Chains A and B, each alone.
Chain A
Amino acid sequence: MATTSTPPVEHRPTASQITLRVNGAAHRLTVDHRTTVLDALREHLGLIGAKKGCDHGQCGACTVLIDGHRINSCLTLAVAADGAQITTVEGLSDGEQPHPLQRAFLDHDGFQCGYCTPGQLCSAIGVLAEAADGHPSHVTPLPGTGSGAPPPGSPVPLTSSEIRERMSGNLCRCGAYTNIVDAIEEVAP
C-alpha cells in the first residue's frame, strides 16, 4: 500500500480474490467488496445453513464461527475475512452423527419453524467456548462481590440466567426460547 502510487478511488478495483476456509475446506473465490460473509457462504459456496433474517445484525440468524468466535456474518465483509477459518451449521456434525448440541435441540424441541436454528446452534457453540474461557456476561457476579463470583479467568457456570443473557443476540419468532435454554443447559458442563 504505497501512498505515492495510490490510484484515485474511481480506478480502484471493487472486487478481490480471497480464500475462505469453511468447515475445513479452502475455497478460492472472487468477491465484490460489498459481499458479506453471509452472502459468500450462501450465494458463492451454496452453504445455505446460515440464514439471512434481518441482514442488520439484530436477529442472529446468520451467526457463524470465525476463527472460533461467534459473529454476525451479515455484518462481516468477505474481503475483510480473507484467510479466516469459518464454521457453519453444516460443519457441526461428525459425518452422520449430529453434534451433541444438535441432538439436545431435537430432544428438547428447541425450535418450531427452524429458521433461526442454525444461528442458535452456532451461537450456543460460541457461548460454551466463551464460558469455558472464563468470559463473563452481564449477569456474572464481579470478582470480590462475595456472591459466588467465579475467580477471574476460571470457567463461568452456565446457569439458565447466564444462557438467557448470553443468547440474547439470537431471536426466535416461534418463541422456542425455554426449550433452547434447556437444550444448551443439558450440553453445558
Chain B
Amino acid sequence: MRPFGYVRADDVETAIATVATEPDARFLGGGTNLVDLMKLGVERPGLLVDVSRLPLTGIDPVGDGKLRIGANVRNSDLAAHPLIRARYPVLSQALLAGASGQLRNAATTGGNLLQRTRCLYFQDVSKPCNKRAPGSGCPAREGIHRDLAVLGHSEHCVATNPSDLAVALAALDASVVLRGPDGERTVAATAFHRLPADLPERDTVIAHDELLTAVELPAPPPGRSAYRKARDRASYAFALASVAAVLDVQGGTVREVRLAFGGLAHKPWRATVAEQALLGAPATEESFRHAADAELAAARPLRDNGFKVPLARNLAVRVLASLADANHMPQLGS
C-alpha cells in the first residue's frame, strides 16, 4: 500500500476545502470499502481526510413529513431506528439484507452509497478494467460475469452496483445531499448513480470535491413496502437480483406503485415501465408478471447471467403479491 497522509476533519467546510486542493485526497468514512480497495491497490490515495467523526449523525424530521439522515449514521443504527422500521420498512430490510453485523456497525450511510462494484476484474489490478484504468478494456464481458449486469450496460463496462440501500432509496424517491466548496445541491437518488455509457470510471454524479452529507426521505408513500434479495448463500452475500417495492392497493386496484431492481445494472434500476403498466391495473399476480416482463424486455443478458432475468421477474412478482396480500392488514405509521 502506498504511504499516505491523514488528517481528521474538524468541520465539513475544512474537509471539503482540503480534498478540493488535492487531487489524490479521499474522504474516509467507515473505511469498510475504501481500506479494502487500498489493500488491493485499486485505490492509492496520498491523503485521507477522515470525516467519520463529523457530527452528521442525525435522523431528523425536517418538515412535510420528510426525514433527513446524516451521512455518518451507521448502517446498523439506521436499520434499527424506530421511525425507519415503522415508516420505511423497505429501507430497514434492504440494509439488513446487506453485509454482516460487523460491517454494518462500521459502514456509514454516505459510504454505502459510494461503495464500488465488486466486479472481480475491477478489484484485480493485474487485469484490464475500464472502470479502474479507462481504456484498458473489459475482460468481464467475455470472462466471469455471472453476477454482472443485464440492463443498461455498455461495451465499456458490465459492472453492477452492490448497494442494497441504494435500491430502497430509488424506490422511495429519496434525495442525496452533496456539499461542495460553492455550496450544497440535492440530487434525486435515481439520478445519483449513473449508467456506464462511455465513462465507466464514474459511478455517480458526485464531484471529487463534494462530500455526501445527508440523505433525505420524502414522507412515506401510501401502502406498504418491502425488500427482497436473491443471493448465493442465505446471508452475507451480494445480490444476484433484488427488488424494492412500494404498493398501495384500494378495492383490488393498484393506486400507487414504486419498483426498483438491484443487482441488474450499474445503478439501482427504477422500473418505470412496470410502474406505468401497473397503475390502475388489478392487483393480481398476472398483472405483476406482465409488468415485470414489460420492464425486463430491455434486458441484454451476457453469456452466463441470463438466469437473472426470470429471477428478477419472479422476485418482483412475489414481493408485489405479498404486499397486495398484506394490504388487508392494518398499516403502521402512514
Contacts and interface: CB of A to CB of B under 8 A. Distances in A.
A63 B14 CA distance: 33
B106 interface: yes
A75 B35 contact: yes
B4 interface: yes
A72 B79 CA distance: 19
Interface string A1-12: 111001011101
A80 to B, nearest CB: 5
Contacts of B330: 144
Given A16-B6, A56-B39, A70 B102 contact: yes
- Per DSSP, chain A at the interface is loop
Nearest to A140: B96
Interface in B246-260: none
Interface stretch (B45-53, B155-163, B300-308): B45-53
Nearest to A8: B22
Contact of A76 (B7, B24, B35, B82): B35
A34 B3 contact: yes
Contacts of A32: 3
B9 A137 contact: no
B36 interface: yes
B244 to A, nearest CB: 14
A146 interface: yes
Interface string B47-75: 11010100000000000000000000000
B105 A71 contact: yes
A80 B52 contact: yes
Measured as residues with beta carbon below 8 angstroms from the partner, the interface class of chain A is 35 or more
A169 B17 contact: no
Contacts of A2: 14
B191 to A, nearest CB: 29
A88 interface: no
A142 to B, nearest CB: 5
A1 B7 contact: yes
A14 B3 contact: yes
A136 B76 CA distance: 9
Interface string A161-172: 000111111100
Interface string A123-160: 10011001001111110101111100000110000000
B28 A77 contact: yes
A13 interface: yes
A127 B105 CA distance: 11
Interface stretch (B84-92, B196-204, B213-221, B271-279): B84-92
Contacts of A53: none
A114 B329 CA distance: 48
Nearest to A2: B14
Given A3-B18, A152-B86, A9 B93 contact: no
Nearest to B2: A34
A16 to B, nearest CB: 6
A130 B103 contact: no
A63 B102 contact: yes
Given A75-B35, A144-B329, A152-B86, 14 more contacts: A6-B22, A9-B24, A32-B3, A69-B76, A69-B105, A72-B102, A80-B50, A80-B52, A123-B102, A126-B105, A136-B92, A137-B96, A144-B86, A169-B101
22 contacts: A1-B10, A12-B46, A14-B4, A16-B6, A34-B4, A36-B35, A56-B36, A60-B100, A63-B102, A71-B105, A79-B50, A80-B28, A80-B50, A80-B52, A82-B8, A123-B101, A130-B101, A137-B96, A138-B97, A152-B86, A168-B236, A169-B102
Interface of A: 1-3, 6, 8-10, 12-14, 16, 32-34, 36, 55-57, 60, 63, 69-72, 75-77, 79-80, 82, 123, 126-127, 130, 133-138, 140, 142-146, 152-153, 164-170
Interface of B: 1, 3-10, 14-15, 17-18, 21-22, 24-25, 28, 31-32, 35-36, 38-39, 46-48, 50, 52, 76, 79-80, 82, 85-86, 89, 92-93, 96-97, 99-103, 105-106, 234-236, 326, 329-332
